[in-house]
Amino acid sequence: MTTSSAPGKVYLFGEHAVVYGEPAVPCAIERRARVTVEARDDDRVSVRADDLTLDGFTVAWGGEADDRPDVDVPTPLVEAAMGYVDGAIERAREAAEAPAAGFDVTIESDIPLGAGLGSSAAVVVAGIDAATRELGVELDPAEIADLAYQVEYEVQEGQASRADTFCSAMGGAVRVQGDDCRQIRDVPNLPFVVGYDGGSGDTGQLVAGVRTLKEEYGFAADTVEAIGDVVRSGEAALEDGDVEEVGRLMDFNHGLLSALGVSARSLDSMVWAAREADALGAKLTGAGGGGCVVALDRTEQTLTALEYTPGCEEAFRAELDTDGVRVEA
């Protein structure tokens, strides 16, 4: 039996624009998905998910009798969750050259599903690491990041970037632009505060919406490029250790994302509550449409403000997690 974990993430800058070759800067946070894998004597796969913002479910599939999970949970939710798990298992089998390996898989997660905190990437990264280790193969984090990206690319029908999976596998703050991925060293202390509205956006639909705008309006394409400019300025601020400037640029980034139609009333309410509490900056994180915002505040004011904001179901501090994927004792 092997258990691996991987962190979720918040975006300082760059979501959506990263799909079009602009840079992005996500940061790993200390909320993790844990995947436990135990090899079976047959080729079947049983998956138990106790906490993926679902009511919990257990499925089993494989062999010749069936090829789809049979479970009494809304189909879109199961298909989304199982697509990532199935992909992780297949990549692990290929890496270990064990195409008929069967597993019992248990998933536990502190990361809300579909909320913009990288839950799917964390599950895929941890799942690949645990399954390959269970089969006697140890991959380095960069290899795991690449395999996990392949899974997300397939499940998201070619609309994924390497940002989430690379950040989850490597930990810390990273810069991603196309296939160019690297860690950012010597990042200053970033006092993250996260607000969660209890919902989730449809990533595929939101990405498609931005694509339509970009193709229809030249100024929407300019907006995507402007997000890239914000990212580059943000990188410089990080290297200078200027957290105040990082916050100001986060505000710019949120405004540009809102112009592209990917914010939501609940997200805007939380962003403005954070700003009115004198946060250094605040923005949505992830695909948008619902889910989470991230703010920077060294005081307790933003956390308190979010806790009293209508529509905010949970608010918490989130430390930068310098560990990426790791095996758990």
Tell me which of 86, 110, 129, 164 is the catalytic residue: 164
Q: What DSSP state is assigned to residue 188?
A: P
CA distance readout (Å), 263 to 99, 269, 303: 42, 10, 20
Taking the C-alpha atoms of residue 186 and residue 239, their distance in angstroms, rounded to an integer, is 8
Amino acid in the structure at residue 58: T
State the distance between the two ends of the chain, measured CA to CA, in whole angstroms: 11
Amino acid in the structure at residue 246: V
Taking the C-alpha atoms of residue 233 and residue 224, their distance in angstroms, rounded to an integer, is 15
Count of CB atoms within 10 A of residue 65's CB?
Answer: 7
Token pair for 228: 């890239």
Burial class of residue 258, CB neighbours in 10 A (0-12, 13-18, 19+): middle
The SS3 call for residue 277 is coil
Please name the residues in contact with 245: beta carbons below 8 A apart, sequence gap of 6 or more.
Answer: 233, 237
Taking the C-alpha atoms of residue 179 and residue 323, their distance in angstroms, rounded to an integer, is 22
Q: Based on the residue annotation, tell me whether 202 is a catalytic residue of this protein.
A: no
**Which are the catalytic amino acids?**
164
